[in-house]
Amino acid sequence: MRLLITGTAGFIGFHLAARLLAEGHEVLGVDGLTPYYDVNLKLARHAILKRSEAFVEAILMLEEIEALAAAAEAWRPDVIVHLAAQAGVRHSLEAPRAYIDSNLVGAFNVMEVARTHKVRHLLIASTSSVYGANEHAPFKETDRVAHPLSLYAATKAANEQMTHAYSHLWAIPTTVFRFFTVYGPWGRPDMALFKFVDGIVRGRPIDVYNDGLMARDFTYVDDLVEAVRRLIDVAPECGSPVEGDSLSPVAPWRVVNIGRGAPVNLMEFITEIESALGRSACLNFMPMQKGDAARTFADSTLLQNLTGYRPTTPVSVGVAAFCDWYRSFYGVD
């Protein structure tokens, strides 16, 4: 299988590409190496992928349609997995235009490539943030997502609608997956786990928002990769729903939650980090940040029905794995 994966220098894209390369597939990895966070971390991820002769690197911005189209034309992908995006709820308050350029224009260009090459499956990442002000829990794919709380969430919800239209118009089998707070080795420095570990190890206070009264459905990266890998082989077909399906009535398109379905309170999460590091945190309690949700909670029944799989790794195991990686990568005790 020849895959085009966007965001392979990113956290999730790196892990997915590594998994597929290990299985013997060929991967064209497209990444812009943007400086949103430490580019050296991105380069280190790509350096590992480039050890495989089946990995081809394409450094370009998705907004550059000519460059993207040329790379895809040379590669001729069977499947596209679109993971690249300008991420981060809080950063969307500071640099909103980056979200329009990357998450809307960039995603549209990927859709055009999928249409041009008639790929057998387009998979595109969304986020639990699209559930926004939804108070129904656990979050189901069939819940309304009409009230996003951040521009980031709004752009990802727009991606879902855009891909549905293209799936309907051009018969592109499309799966949208909504990620729930993915964490693990090689994680992003802007995510809470990285910030907490980095602060504790270096003896700095860590910021705890909403006075710690928050909960997240933390999903370990290996579990997420397993789910995505299985979904690659389950392309939607019109008129073939499974129980509880989000399959469109007019397009080969569906949306699937990928989450463990077990929210963890923020203070419990910090306790797990302290245990893994053998150190205590100095907590700086802060008010709720604009755009944040107090709680996320995935219903992963559809994922289970489609693939026979759902994430299971407990936070204690995942946090310990991240702490081991952090100490090794940064050379700290």
Burial 307-316 (b: 16+ CB within 10 A, else e): bebbbebebe
At residue 25, the 3 state secondary structure works out as coil
Which alpha helices (H) appear in the chain, and where do they start and end? 11-22, 39-49, 65-75, 91-94, 96-99, 107-117, 151-170, 192-201, 221-232, 266-277, 301-307, 315-330
Give catalytic residues, as residue numbers: 152
DSSP state, residue 253: E
Q: Please give the order of strands across the beta sheet that includes 121-127.
A: 55-59, 26-31, 2-6, 79-82, 121-127, 174-179, 253-258
In the chain, the amino acid numbered 220 is Y
> Which residues are paired to 59 by β-bridges?
31
- 8 Å CB contact between 263 and 213: no
Q: Are 129 and 286 in contact (CB under 8 A)?
A: no
Side chain identity at 108, as an amino acid letter? F
**Pair 250, 239: CB distance under 8 Å:** no
